[in-house]
Amino acid sequence: MLISSATALALLSALALGAPGYQRSDTSRPQRCIVPSSNGTADDSPAVLKAFARCATDSVIVFKEGVNYNIFTPISATNLSNVEIRMNGNLHLPQSIAEVQRVVNRTNRVTYSDGQHWFAFKGPSIDYIGSSDINNGWINSYGQAWWDANPVNGTGIDSRPHLMSFKTTGGSLKYFKSRKPIAWNVQVEGDDITVSHAFIDAESTGSFPFNTDGFDVTGTNVRITDSVIYNGDDAIAVQSGSHNILFERNTIGYQSHGMSIGSLGEDQTDFANVSNIHFEDVTVIDAVYGARFKSWIGGQGLAKNITWKNIRVYNVTFPIFVTQSYVNQGSSQTQLGDGQTTGRINNGSVMMEDFSWSDFTGTINTFRPGDGSCVTNPCWYDDGLPDLKHTEAVIIECNTDTSCKNFALENIQIIPQSMAAPTVVCINATAELNPQLGFDCKNGTFSPF
């Protein structure tokens, strides 16, 4: 490869300054703990915990290249400071559901971090750097058994752990690799965090990989780039309290629920607050949703300055979808729990302001819409909209005539696989409040100006 002298200079100065969020020079992390492995059937978690205790500050913790580690009990390392976790080994959770449930039941609220994550990392300046070799650095969670065991109308079987909580400031997650997660992958929380070159593979050979979110973000100045996420729920879900989030140069798909803002406003007493979110240069394959916003009826809050740009969709059921009447699919368990919809007082909406969608191209999944997770009639993902034709390039559903403001669509070039004309469902995005909408807000053929 030819490197120009200008590039070389830039590289050198980046190294000298320590590119933000990346590996710092080893001098600031003089301690090193190499995690031993039984390389067999024993639980390696005690050795891992020992390494995290010994090397909790100004350290590098090394999982050896290509070596297998059994992580049969959760790892909580929540007092880290300036630590690099060099994940070159391959981790294995217990393969049986009963064993995970037994551990979760036993350790819940004791060592089982946050009551819900198998791995919990917390503290300033944490860099989790996986192997750049595609064969190594995997976390194997054996989720297939969990997905297959989930009844069709179920909301997930008991004691499902989330995979990882990553809470830091000025940190990074690079080459994170997750194979068949049991459910949610990474909760990213904090400030100034770069996630890059992640690979999440929740492809199923059986049932729907229920709730396998890629990245759930509650933070500020978070970047997620150059990653591949194949899963069965949101590839990214930007949650309340998130500001300045960038999601770019990623490929997402399989039965993914796309690039989501929300859900917001589920807790009616809480003011949802999200701003400055940018999604760009993303390929979306076979997913249920591409660009998605979801908030609950009767919620409150503001989502402002959100953009999706240069998005390629292939065989996507709902390329652009906005709903302010979101409900979780499911049984009475979901509906009557925290996300109660029956009896919710419809006294507000999470307001949406300055949203734009531009330069979309590709196809709508007309022939086999959805993701196989639909067990309600009408289907949960139709969000109460009757008579969908699966020719809809755009669905915008505002709960009131003032809850959507300054929406702008530009250069949306998406066609149904049937080669029928693309259509739109548009409710309450009024011309007065949305002068740049780019088409008439009404149902029918999508005819941009």
Ligand X SMILES: *[C@@H]1O[C@H](CO)[C@@H](O)[C@H](O)[C@H]1NC(C)=O
Report, as residue numbers or ranges, the catalytic residues.
Answer: 233, 257
CB contact at 8 A, 297 and 323: no
Among 217, 224, 394, 425, binds ligand X (CB under 6 A): 425
What is each CA distance from 346 to 263, 293, 343, 404, 430, in whole angstroms? 16, 19, 9, 17, 21
251 binding ligand X? (CB under 6 A): no
Choice from 268, 335, 340, 356 touching ligand X (CB under 6 A): 268
The single residue among 155, 165, 399, 423 that binds ligand X, judged by CB under 6 A, is 399
Give the H/E segment covering residue 5.
Answer: helix 5-17
53 part of the interface to ligand X, by CB under 6 A? yes
Cβ nearer to ligand X, comparing 152 with 419: 152
CA distance 430 to 403: 10
Measure the CA–CA gap between 234 and 263, rounded to whole angstroms: 10
For residues 13 and 28, which CB has a smaller minimum distance to ligand X in the complex?
Answer: 28
User: Least CB distance from residue 174 to ligand X, whole Å?
Assistant: 22
Indicate if the alpha-carbon torsion angle 38, 39, 41, 45 is positive or negative.
positive
Query: Does 278 sit near ligand X (CB under 6 A)?
Result: yes
Among 42, 96, 368, 411, binds ligand X (CB under 6 A): 368
Contact 307, 277 (CB under 8 A): yes
**DSSP reduced 3-state for 104:** helix
Give backbone dihedrals phi and psi of 6, rounded to 5 degrees, phi first. Answer: -65, -45
The answer to whether the beta carbons of residues 327 and 378 sit under 8 Å apart is no
5 to 44, contacts with ligand X by CB under 6 A? Answer: 39
Q: Are strands 444-445 and 423-427 parallel, antiparallel or unpaired?
A: antiparallel
Residues of this chain, 54-93, that bind ligand X according to CB under 6 A: 56-57, 67, 79
CB of 50 to ligand X, least distance (A): 9
Q: Which residue, 16 or 345, has its beta carbon nearer to ligand X?
A: 345
Per CB under 6 A, which region of 87-95, 109-117, 264-272, 407-415 contacts ligand X?
A: 264-272
Q: Binding of ligand X at residue 365 (CB under 6 A)?
A: yes
Does position 158 interact with ligand X (CB under 6 A)? The reply is yes
E strand segments, 96-145: 117-122, 126-130, 138-140
Q: Using CB under 6 A as the criterion, which residues of the chain lie in contact with ligand X when the complex forms?
A: 39, 53, 56-57, 67, 79, 98, 101-102, 105, 152-153, 158-159, 243, 255, 268-269, 271, 273, 276, 278, 286, 298, 300, 305, 315, 345, 347-348, 365, 368, 371, 375-376, 385-387, 399-401, 425, 427-428, 443
